[in-house]
Structures are given as structure tokens and as C-alpha cells.
């Protein structure tokens, strides 16, 4: 019985994002390019935003990031207008990556991947997720969805399964 319960819990945890999904989920895959240079490739999934996802912003803390650059493939840059504003520690102003669709929004149930940003990491250890906001392009006054980017579910799943295997082996 214990084994079945543990297996059910692991399956639920491995499904992660789909179990605890918000209106919009944003995940990233991290790649370390050098000692302090990183590249994040983001995926955005529309779970329940009826009007679709047409515009979003990812924020980069001015004390932790610098030298942002857009690295998205041509397929993304043809369908999305991308803009970067560098973090400015002198003005105490966060940087951002702003994206606006040019061919149509991400509809409910759809995921688009490939939005890619490289940056220099100024913090300790490894960089983590950032805050994001989704906007209605007809009215940018208030976000219609917001959250924090999270690592790709595959990474989380592997960590959970590896930990479970180690715990099981200890018994």
C-alpha cells in the first residue's frame, strides 16, 4: 500500500505544471554558456486565458542581471516583436524582455516555445526564475495574468524521481 501511495504522489509531482496551472504558465530551460553567461529559452502555455496571449513581459532584477540579448530563432522573430530594456542599477530600474504577437495570439491549450534571452548573471549560485506579466494589447494598464517563470517540468521530474530512487535504495 505504501508503495502505491508513493507512486501516486510521484506521478502527481512529476506532472507539476499541469496540476497546479494558472491562467498562463511560463517555463524556462537554462543553459550555462560561460562562468557568468547564461541563456534561458522560455515556453509559454495558455491554460485558460480566453482572449489568448498576445503580449508578455519578463522582468530582470537590476541587481542580478546585465547585458541582456535576444537569442530567439528566426521562427519566433517572424511571428513576435521582441524588445529588450537593459537593467539599470544607477536608476534602480529592472530590465525587461517585452514580446508582442504579430500574427495571432496563443490560444487556450496552445504552447509556444523558443523565446530566448542570454544574460550575465551577477548573483550567487545559479540564476532562478523571473516575474512575468501577460497583457491585453488593447489596454496595457493592468496585467491580465502574472506569475514567476519556473524550470521546465522535465528537470523537476528528474530531480524528484532521482530523489525518490535514492530514498528507496536507502531502505
Q: How many residues does the chain have?
A: 171
Percent of the chain beyond pLDDT 90?
63
What is 22-151's CATH number?
A: 2.60.40.290
Q: How far is CA 4 from CA 1, 9, 26, 90, 117, in A?
A: 5, 9, 31, 56, 42
Strands 150-151, 24-32: pairing kind: parallel
In angstroms, the CA 11 to CA 5 distance is 10
Q: Which residue has the higher pLDDT, 39 or 169?
A: 39
Given a contact cutoff of 8 angstroms between Cβ atoms, the answer to whether 75 and 131 are in contact is: no
pTM of the predicted protein model: 0.77
- The per-residue pLDDT for range 86-102, each reduced to its tens digit, is 999 888 899 999 999 99
Q: Does 109 have pLDDT greater than 60?
A: yes
Amino acid at each position: 500500500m505504501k508503495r502505491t501511495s508513493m507512486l501516486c504522489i510521484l506521478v502527481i509531482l512529476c506532472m507539476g505544471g499541469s496540476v497546479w496551472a494558472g491562467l498562463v504558465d511560463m517555463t524556462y530551460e537554462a543553459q550555462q554558456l560561460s562562468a557568468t553567461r547564461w541563456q534561458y529559452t522560455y515556453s509559454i502555455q495558455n491554460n485558460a486565458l480566453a482572449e489568448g496571449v498576445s503580449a508578455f513581459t519578463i522582468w530582470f532584477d537590476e541587481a542580478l542581471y546585465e547585458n541582456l540579448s535576444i537569442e530567439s530563432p528566426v521562427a519566433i522573430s517572424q511571428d513576435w516583436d521582441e524588445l529588450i530594456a537593459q537593467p539599470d542599477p544607477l536608476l534602480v530600474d529592472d530590465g525587461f524582455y517585452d514580446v508582442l504577437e504579430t500574427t495571432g495570439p496563443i490560444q487556450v491549450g496552445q504552447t509556444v516555445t523558443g523565446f530566448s534571452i542570454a544574460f550575465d548573471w551577477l548573483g550567487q549560485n545559479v540564476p532562478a526564475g523571473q516575474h512575468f506579466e501577460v497583457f491585453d494589447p488593447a489596454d496595457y494598464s493592468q496585467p491580465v495574468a502574472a506569475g514567476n517563470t519556473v524550470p521546465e517540468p522535465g528537470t523537476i521530474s528528474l530531480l524528484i524521481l532521482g530523489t525518490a530512487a535514492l530514498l528507496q535504495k536507502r531502505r
